[in-house]
Amino acid sequence: MYINRIVSSAVSEALDSGKIVIIYGPRQAGKTTLSRKIINATGLKTLYANADQIKYIDILASRDLNKMKSLVSGYDLLFIDEAQRIPEIGLNLKILHDELPQLKVLVTGSSSFLLSKRISEVLTGRKRIFTLLPFSIGELRSVFTDFEVADMIDQLLIFGNYPEVIKSTGYHEKEEYLNEVAASYLFKDILELESIKYPSKIRDLLRLLAFQLGSQISINEIGTQLRLNAETVERYLFLLEQSFIVFKLPAFSRNPRKEISKSQKYYFYDNGIRNAIIDNFKLAEARADMGALWENFVITERRKKLIFERRHFQAFFWRNYAGAEIDYLEEYQGKLNAFEIKVNKMKSRAPKAWITDYNSEYNCITKDNFLQFL
């Protein structure tokens, strides 16, 4: 069963436009599978260059146009998988693009922080960038009925949406796969490509974030627990964000005297990865953290939807000093939307302080209506 990716048509159009196409995303999210599907549909003669192989690294890092011409001679399309492993890949792609404009180029990479440093500036005006994450609810709905997706929800909350997890049928198989990802792939880019003095501290930091899911965190408090200074904690958080493991939700405030303005929450791009980190795959009925899992799931799925639709948005949470709170806010084209996130159906009204100060739509997302928003 192949589940179509929402970005697929946009990637194909970008490839036709003559731009260098770059697909970012975490390992195991399906970047190579998507790329091969798109390439096969073009019917173009394609050179598949795996950046794990030294023969490709040497030529594609050489800055030698003659060498690169020799490599791609006779091909219509160059596909580079895991391009972040090639030194100065951005400059070499620029040379190829400028000197061989007829050659189509498709590139994947799992570390956005590394690729962006090597590619973004030098390829200004020559590239289109797409983000690929684990399956979104919208993508699952292209294959499964709404009833089937709703019926899957408790499994998605525990095991997440990675392609291999969706394909697996047994709980034990899903658990084994997620443990392997957490042990073998999750930190690979960070530990291989960045100079990390205390690699075990990154794992400890991630566990702290997993146990504080949906709660405001204190950089100084985490630093004290891990025996790291605040600057190091912030750097590690940045690396975890750029590696598509977690993302930050900052506080929203236009009235700092009344509202929390300098706090932040962190969420995981995938519930299954979060549960693997804390080694807890208990099923929904036995969980004490279902509220946090549901909040993480909804906010992450909403984020995927907007990213895949290539909408430029800002996301926040809101809380004032009196304790009134809204779980999730979106600001899009100058308009605010407020969302309360609850597992079960219940009456929910926006806090009076929010109504007084802000004019926005307000919705409560539960298991009964989540498909309307995701």
Domain layout of the chain by residue ranges: 8-131, 137-372
Collapsing DSSP to helix, strand or coil, 172 comes out as helix
Q: Is the pLDDT of residue 152 over 90?
A: yes
Instruction: Give me the pLDDT at residue 161, please.
Output: 97
More confident residue, 66 or 324: 66
Q: Quick one: pLDDT at residue 334? A: 83
Which of 155 and 124 is assigned the larger pLDDT?
155
The yes or no reply on domain 137-372 and CATH 2.60.40.1510 is no
Looking at residues 58-80, what average pLDDT do you find? 96
pLDDT at 113: 59
The yes-or-no answer to whether 8-131 and 137-372 have a common fold is: no
pLDDT in tens, 234-272: 999 998 998 899 999 999 988 877 778 788 999 999 999
> What is the structure's pLDDT at 253?
85
Mean pLDDT of 48-68: 94
Provide the mean pLDDT of the chain. 91
Whether the predicted pLDDT of 101 surpasses 90: yes
Look at the block and give the residue holding tokens 């260059």.
Answer: 49
Q: What is the pTM of this model?
A: 0.92
Nearest to 155 by CA among 144, 166, 141, 145: 166
**Furthest-apart CA pair in the chain: how many Å?**
68
Question: pLDDT for 29-42, tens place per residue?
Answer: 999 999 999 999 99
- Here the tokens at position 326 are 């809204």
Average pLDDT of 17-37?
A: 94
Query: DSSP for 219-265?
Result: HHHHHHHHT--HHHHHHHHHHHHHTTSEEEEEBP-S-TTTB--S-EE
Domain 8-131 has CATH 3.30.43.10: no
CA distance 290 to 227: 30
Radius of gyration for the chain, computed over Cα atoms and rounded to the nearest angstrom: 22
Q: Kindly report, residue by residue over 293-341, the tens digit of the pLDDT.
A: 999 999 999 999 999 988 889 999 999 998 889 999 999 888 899 999 9
The fraction of the chain above a pLDDT of 90, given in percent, is: 71
pLDDT tens digits, one per residue of 181-235: 988 888 777 776 567 777 889 999 999 999 999 999 999 999 999 999 999 999 9
What percentage of the chain has pLDDT greater than the value 70? 97
